[in-house]
Structure 1
Amino acid sequence: MNKQQRIKKNKEFQQIFKKGKSFANRQFIVYVLKSDQPEFRLGLSVSKKVGNAVTRNRIKRYIRQTFLELKDELKPNTDYVIIARQQAAEMDFHESKKSLEHVLKIARALPKK
């Protein structure tokens, strides 16, 4: 992920939380908001309640890798904020990818196959 595809500023997060739509399953919450950026942007939030730093960083790596693999299918000019829930800590990469795809299909960010 390059720098243009990241959401870092608290102001941007708050705007997406206020104006965006949220979709969830047991492992992830996804906020989606249309933006004027040419590419999609991704913001990640993994609470300390989920686990220690190693666990949180692993979850973030899994989410970034999933978005990298799905970048051609995702809608451009959209902002995504992913919040990981505690159940995400026990999953391996393939399970977390499947769960993220599921919640993105609910959000209509991915086409249904």
Structure 2
Amino acid sequence: MKKKYRIKKNEEFQQVFQKGHSMANRQFVIYVLDRPEQPYFRIGLSVSKKIGKAVVRNRVKRYIRQTFLELRDQVATAKDYVIIARRPVSEMNYAEVKKSLMHVLKKAGVLENHSF
């Protein structure tokens, strides 16, 4: 994923937390902030040490990035997303992570319904 599609700075994370709206399921919490001036979406990831050691956390982040890469045509643009992973994610495989992430994105109303 290119750098311009990522949220890295603490101020940007805080802006999404304070001004955006959130949606959650058992595995993920997602914050969404509208950015009408931005022609693309950006994502920020938060995977706590409670999830597991570095290997597990990095795997979870790879799964989330890959899911967004595959769904980029269906995810609403001009928005910032912050995804917070919860504990059950550490035992999930890629297909389960993708299904759960799609569920919470649909719940937040930012995923267009296409056949998968």
The interval holding the TM-score normalised by the smaller chain is over 0.9
Per-residue CA deviations over 1:40-80 (Å, capped at 9, x if unaligned) read 00000000011000000000000000000000001111000
1:60 match:
61
Distance 1:112 1:42 in 2: 20
Does the CA contact (< 8 Å) of 2:20 and 2:32 recur in 1?
yes
Does the CA contact (< 8 Å) of 2:76 and 2:112 recur in 1?
no
Q: Which contiguous aligned blocks of 4+ residues in structure 1 show a shift greater than 4 angstroms?
A: none
The alignment covers a number of residue pairs equal to 113
SS of alignment partner, residue 83 of structure 2: strand
Letter in 1 for 2:23: F
Distance 2:22 2:89 in 1: 18
2:44 match:
43
- Give identity over the alignment, percent: 64
Per-residue CA deviations over 1:2-43 (Å, capped at 9, x if unaligned) read 111000000000000000000000000000001121100000
1:112 match:
113
Q: TM-score, normalised by structure 2?
A: 0.95
Does the CA contact (< 8 Å) of 2:43 and 2:81 recur in 1?
yes
Distance 1:33 1:84 in 2: 18
Distance 1:12 1:59 in 2: 22
Distance 1:75 1:99 in 2: 17
In structure 1, the gaps of 5 or more residues are none
Work out whether 1:18 is the aligned partner of 2:18. yes
Work out whether 1:103 is the aligned partner of 2:104. yes
1:69 match:
70
Q: TM-score, normalised by structure 1?
A: 0.98
- Stretch moving more, 36-45 or 97-106: 36-45
